Amino acid sequence: CFSKYIPETLLKYHFDPRENPRETHLLCALKWGETGRIWSHWVRNYSFHAERYFLRNIFEGRRSSHVNCYITWYLSWSPCAHCCDEIQQFLERHPYVSIDIRVARLFRFKNEEVRECLIDLCYLDNISVLASFSPDYIYCWNKFIRGNAVDDTWTVGFEPHISMYRSLLRRAFKVSRS
C-alpha cells in the first residue's frame, strides 16, 4: 500500500489535473525537527483512503515523541469530508505536527459537505491546505521517481485546469466568509 517511489506512468496519470482517476495517490515528505532527515512516502488508496492510511499506519508507526514534525502532502485529489475530519482530529491529538497539503484537483467540490469540511480544515492553525494547486511537479518528479530521469514536458497544458480549481476554491472561501 505504500513505497518510497511512484512509477512514472502513475505520477503522470494520477497527478494530471485534466484526468479523472478513480483512486487517490499521496506523495509525502515528512521531516522530524528542524534538522531531521526527510522521509519520502508514496501511498495509494486500496481498502483505506490514502490520507487515512498515512495517518494511521505510517505516521503512527514513526516516533511518538513530541518533536515538531513537518509534513507536506502532494495529493492527486483533495481530501473527502471524512478524511478532512480525520485530519482535523489527528492534528488535535498531535499539535506539534504541521501539514502542508497540495493537490492536483478538487474531489466532489460541488458537494456542500465536502466543500465545507475542506474549508473548515483550511482554518486550522497547524495546517496549510491547498497551499498550492499544482503540486510542485518538478519536486515530485525528482523526489518520488526512482533514478534521475527528467521529463518536463508532461505538465504542458495543466495551467487552465489549475486556474479553474484555484478559482473554484477562491469563490468557495468568499462565500464561506460572508
**Which pLDDT band holds residue 86 (cuts at 50, 70, 90)?**
very high
Contact 35, 21 (CB under 8 A): no
Mean predicted confidence (pLDDT) in 93-112: 86
Whole-number pLDDT of residue 171: 75
pTM over 0.95: no
Q: Which fold has domain 2-177?
A: Cytidine Deaminase; domain 2 (3.40.140)
Q: Please indicate whether residue 113 is annotated as part of the active site.
A: no
Mean predicted confidence (pLDDT) in 152-172: 80
**Domain residue extents for the chain:** 2-177
Alpha carbon of residue 168 to chain centroid: 18
Catalytic residue chosen out of the listed positions 8, 19, 34, 51: 51
Is residue 124 over pLDDT 80? no
| Partner residues linked to 98 by β-bridges | 70
Is residue 177 over pLDDT 70? no
Higher pLDDT residue, 160 or 134? 160
Least confident stretch, 52-61, 82-91, 113-122: 52-61
Is residue 126 over pLDDT 70? no
